Amino acid sequence: MQINFDPVVKEKGDYDVVFARRVFLLGEEGEKRFNEEFKLHYNILQSSIDSITGADTVPAAVYTLQGVKVANPTTPGIYIVTGADGTTRKVVVR
């Protein structure tokens, strides 16, 4: 099951989603069993990123989190990218 919020919840804080009794049919169609009311609680620890801007320059070097230099990060994971100006940033490849 996937729940999408519109508008998207992006602010940090605690949130509860309450599903009313009999919202979801449980089991097979002929059984007619429904859920009881239940609540999902979740916490957003930091605000989300609204947009990402990047430099149009080629990175000076790309490293794995273990410090291994890679030429072309195509395997999914988190990489550390260093710029020619000495800046560093984390990049996620999916």
Domains of the chain, by residue range, sit at 1-50, 61-93
- Distance from C-alpha of 93 to C-alpha of 46, rounded to nearest angstrom: 21
pLDDT along the chain (94 residues), means of 10: 71 82 75 80 71 64 91 88 86 88
Q: What is the DSSP letter of 20?
A: P
Q: Give the predicted TM-score (pTM) of the model.
A: 0.40
pLDDT score at 25: 75
- Distance from C-alpha of 23 to C-alpha of 37, rounded to nearest angstrom: 8
